[in-house]
């Protein structure tokens, strides 16, 4: 019964003395396993090693308690210290839970003095370069944006000041114009009021004169009726009036001839086809008639014809075929001569009666 543990211990000791080989490498890997620290092989800094140790500390403590509690078991002989001493220089005790073999797997062997692969930093340089370029580019863009903002605000403020000044000038000019127009409007209003008052007073005066003339006309009509009813004076008046009516008829015939001549002259004047010589010929004939006819001489028609030939230049439209629509001054003179004939008739009657 006592030899079984011995044989078991021998077997376990033999397993401990067997060198641990992982893949190829032999003694170098065994030395790496033997000389490895009690930290994770991929930890490259003390801070990371401390963090890993803090995380694996409770696990190691539980493993140590488990080993101590099962020290009498035939599966874990001499675990409390003699096993590590018996492991030998070529390997590590396989059942040591404080230093399991899976934790002793090291990365690929580097050259002496290298803490990591030289190619691990190959991608770091362009990444840092891109980051630096982006930082510089962002800073320059920000500076450019700030500069453009300042320039924009400067231009905006300048434009705003110019517009405000222009707006003030326009408002001032408009106010000045409005004030001037108001003054002109007030002057025109006062002038209109004065004209209205003058027209009202003149109309009143004309109404008064018309009333006086109507009264005089009524008085003359009464006197006329009295003279007509009287015996010898009435007969004499009627005889002279009959004589002067004959003279009036001759004068009216002369006016009709003058009217026809003036219509022909004005039509030639307004025509674009008839030559100017015909108009001059018509004017010459009218002047000769006015100078030789006794009635025309009495009415002073020659001076009126010269005035018409000099100033009457009114014409109707181009498609006008009515001669009565041409001329303006000649119609005024014709009406004037007609009234002058009427007045001349009564003056001749009065002169004849007073002469008798």
Lowest pLDDT segment from 25-29, 113-117, 131-135, 294-298: 25-29
* The pLDDT of residue 38: 44
**Average pLDDT estimate for 331-343:** 88
Question: Both tokens of residue 69?
Answer: 């509690």
**How much is the pLDDT for 92?**
45
Residue closest to 300 by CA, chosen among 333, 331, 328 = 333
pLDDT at 310 over 60: yes
Q: Tokens in use for 126?
A: 């362009």
pTM: 0.36
Q: Give the per-residue pLDDT at 168.
A: 94
Query: Nearest CA to 320 among 272, 255, 353, 261?
Result: 272
Angle at CA of residue 72, ends 68 and 73, nearest 5°? 100
Please identify which residue in the block is written with the tokens 């003694």: 27
Ranges 15-24, 93-102, 150-159, 164-173: which has the least confidence: 15-24
Q: Is the pLDDT of residue 142 over 90?
A: yes
Highest mean pLDDT among 52-61, 166-175, 273-282, 334-343: 166-175
Q: Which of 23-37, 59-73, 207-221, 251-265 has the lowest mean pLDDT?
A: 23-37
Helix residue spans in 230-300 (DSSP H): 232-270, 276-292, 294-299
**Contact (Cβ atoms closer than 8 angstroms) between residue 16 and residue 88:** yes
Model confidence at 129: pLDDT above 70: yes
Q: Is 305 exposed, middle or buried (0-12, 13-18, 19+ CB in 10 A)?
A: buried
Least confident of 6-20, 61-75, 185-199, 287-301: 6-20
Most confident of 11-25, 47-61, 186-200, 322-336: 186-200
- Percent pLDDT > 90 in the chain is 17
Q: What is the pLDDT of residue 48?
A: 54
pLDDT reported for residue 245: 84
Mean pLDDT estimate for the chain: 73
The residue ranking higher by pLDDT, 64 or 224, is: 224
Question: In whole angstroms, what is the distance from residue 287 CA to residue 108 CA?
Answer: 144
For residue 74, pLDDT over 50 is answered with no
- Name the pLDDT band for 4 (thresholds 50, 70, 90): very low
Task: Give the pLDDT band (50/70/90) at residue 119.
Answer: low
């Amino acid at each position: 019964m006592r030899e079984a543990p011995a044989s078991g211990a021998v077997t376990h000791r033999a397993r401990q003395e067997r060198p641990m080989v992982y893949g190829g490498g032999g003694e170098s890997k065994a030395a790496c396993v033997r000389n490895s620290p009690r930290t994770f092989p991929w930890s490259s800094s003390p801070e990371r090693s401390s963090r890993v140790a803090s995380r694996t500390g409770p696990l190691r403590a539980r493993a140590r308690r488990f080993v101590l509690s099962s020290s009498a078991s035939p599966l874990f002989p001499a675990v409390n210290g003699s096993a590590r001493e018996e492991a030998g220089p070529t390997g590590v005790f396989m059942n040591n839970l404080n230093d399991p073999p899976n934790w002793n797997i090291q990365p690929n062997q580097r050259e002496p003095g290298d803490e990591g692969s030289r190619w691990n930093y190959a991608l770091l340089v362009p990444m840092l370069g891109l980051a630096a370029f982006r930082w510089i580019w962002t800073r320059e863009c920000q500076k450019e944006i700030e500069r453009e903002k300042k320039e924009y605000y400067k231009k905006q403020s300048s434009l705003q000041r110019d517009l405000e000044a222009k707006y003030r000038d326009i408002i001032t000019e408009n106010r000045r114009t409005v004030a001037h127009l108001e003054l002109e409007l007030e002057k025109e209003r006062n002038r209109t009021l004065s004209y209205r008052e003058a027209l009202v007073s003149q109309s009143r005066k004309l109404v008064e004169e018309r009333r006086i003339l109507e009264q005089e006309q009524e008085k003359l009509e009464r006197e006329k009726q009295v003279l007509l009813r009287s015996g010898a004076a009435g007969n004499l008046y009627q005889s002279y009036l009959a004589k002067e009516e004959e003279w009036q008829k001759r004068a009216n015939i002369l006016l009709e001839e003058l009217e026809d001549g003036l219509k022909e002259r004005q039509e030639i004047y307004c025509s674009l086809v008839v030559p100017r010589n015909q108009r001059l010929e018509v004017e010459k004939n009218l002047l000769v008639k006015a100078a030789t006819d006794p009635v025309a001489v009495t009415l002073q028609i020659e001076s009126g014809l010269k005035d018409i030939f000099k100033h009457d230049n009114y014409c109707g439209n181009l498609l006008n075929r009515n001669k009565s629509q041409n001329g303006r001054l000649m119609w005024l003179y014709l009406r004037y001569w007609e009234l002058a004939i009427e007045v001349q008739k009564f003056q001749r009657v009065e002169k004849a009666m007073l002469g008798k």
